[in-house]
Structure 1
Amino acid sequence: MSFTPESLFDELAALPEGRSLPPVADWHPERSGRIDITIDSHGNWHHEGALIRRPAMVKLFSTILRHDEDGYCLVTPAERLLIEVEDVPFAAVELAARGAGLASELLFRTNVDDYVLAGPQHALWVKDPLDNPRPYIRVRGGLNARLNRAVFYQLVDLSQVIDGAHCVYSDGERFVLGPA
């Protein structure tokens, strides 16, 4: 499905304020355990080694995901189940950009249809920018997304060189992608 950045920004602006998410930070169930769910480095969810092929199920699970000191877990009011995450739980799969310079806005869509505007609340950073650049964005509540290759290349194309580094602006913040 194709879109223009302006139409996407307009569509999102018309939605009610934020997607309603369960208050997982407030849930502290007594029952806890582990479930054989793994999120691979591309943001794909697996159960007992098999890819979960139902996008609606993955989206539902993503709404009850939390990152605690001992790892990632699925949380309900009744129980907390640890899962395995190879890198980060989400992948940024699409980027819409509008504006220029300090007035730029960079809007990312994740593989679970969360929309994230890079800025003060949603930092953008690159791990190991010289040898093996891995770009990330903060999604919500300590949960991050890794930008897929196409999105990262698009971001680099939008960058400008400032003080010897590739940089982008979004929502008034400057983010360094790596050396020029």
Structure 2
Amino acid sequence: MTSSPGTILSVEETLKAILPEGKFGADLPPVEKWNPSGEKDIGMEIRADGSWWHEGGQIKRDRLVKLFARILRKDADGRTFLVTPYEKVIVHVEDAPFIAGRMDVLGAPGRDQQLGFVTTLGDVTFAGPDCPLRVETDAETGEPAPYVLVRGRLEAKLARPVFYELAGLAEPSPDDENVLGVWSKGVFFPLGPAA
């Protein structure tokens, strides 16, 4: 990846900020605490299929994409950025920044089960009070679009096979038998109508 003219995004400075020991660790950089002045638009984009693009070319190096994903932040105004202590780079997100490509069910079925989701970039999240699962329904087609919160305000869209697996766990809502949903960490998440 090369920077556009006038961009101060330095790969060396970025790496030092987010990988101080030179390798991926369990802890994510504190992007919520970084508030650099100014922002740049260098043509970064995450498409609906989860692929990352820069100035019209796909970024195919998985390690680079995973590195960028570690410094991704969605602000309260809905805009998404790559954030370092030195600058914010605008990222245009077509749908969700992550794709959940796998689901694991832990515990006995029902209220106490935990639904874990793994993104295609290796992030793990468990649906629950702090990481809600939601389904948007297209008004024209009626097609569901399921999402789970990964971190901050960043969501993962569930891949179609994962959503089918999730739907296989659906049961009637304790409040309305006409609504189907799933339990995770004691929270019932509606998926859609029973009929």
The alignment's TM-score, normalised by the length of structure 1, stands at 0.86
Q: Corresponding residue for 2:193?
A: 179
Q: Corresponding residue for 1:97?
A: 105
Question: Residue 129 of structure 1 contacts residue 177 of structure 1 at CA under 8 Å; is this kept in 2?
Answer: no
Q: Residue deviations 1:97-124, cap 9 Å, x none? A: 1321111111000111010011011100
Q: Corresponding residue for 1:134?
A: 145
What amino acid is the match of 1:128? T
Deviation at 1:19, TM superposition (A): 2.6
Greater per-residue helix proportion = 1
Q: Corresponding residue for 2:64?
A: 57
Which structure is larger by alpha-carbon Rg, 1 or 2? 2
Q: Corresponding residue for 2:21?
A: none
Mapping 1:112-123, distance limit 5 Å: 112-123=121-132
Q: Corresponding residue for 1:73?
A: 81
Aligned-partner Cα distance in 1 for 2:95–2:151: 16
Q: Residue deviations 1:21-75, cap 9 Å, x none? A: 1111111112421121110112111112222111111111011111122611111
Query: Match of 1:95, SS?
Result: strand
Deviation at 1:161, TM superposition (A): 2.4
What amino acid is the match of 1:33? K
Q: Corresponding residue for 1:169?
A: 183
Aligned-partner Cα distance in 1 for 2:136–2:38: 36
Q: Residue deviations 1:98-153, cap 9 Å, x none? A: 32111111100011101001101110010017712000001101100100100000
Greater per-residue strand proportion = 1
Indicate yes or no: 2:39 matched with 1:32. yes
Q: Corresponding residue for 1:160?
A: 171
Rate the CA distance shift 1:94–1:27 in 2: closer, same or farther, 3 A: same
Note the aligned Cα RMSD (angstroms).
Answer: 1.5
Indicate yes or no: 2:96 matched with 1:88. yes
The alignment's TM-score, normalised by the length of structure 2, stands at 0.80
5+ long unaligned stretches in structure 2: 1-24
Aligned-partner Cα distance in 2 for 1:70–1:79: 18
What amino acid is the match of 1:110? T
Aligned-partner Cα distance in 1 for 2:78–2:157: 21
Greater RCO structure (CA 8 Å; 6+ sep):
1
Structure 1 stretches of at least 4 aligned residues deviating more than 4 Å after TM superposition: none
Query: Match of 2:80, SS?
Result: strand
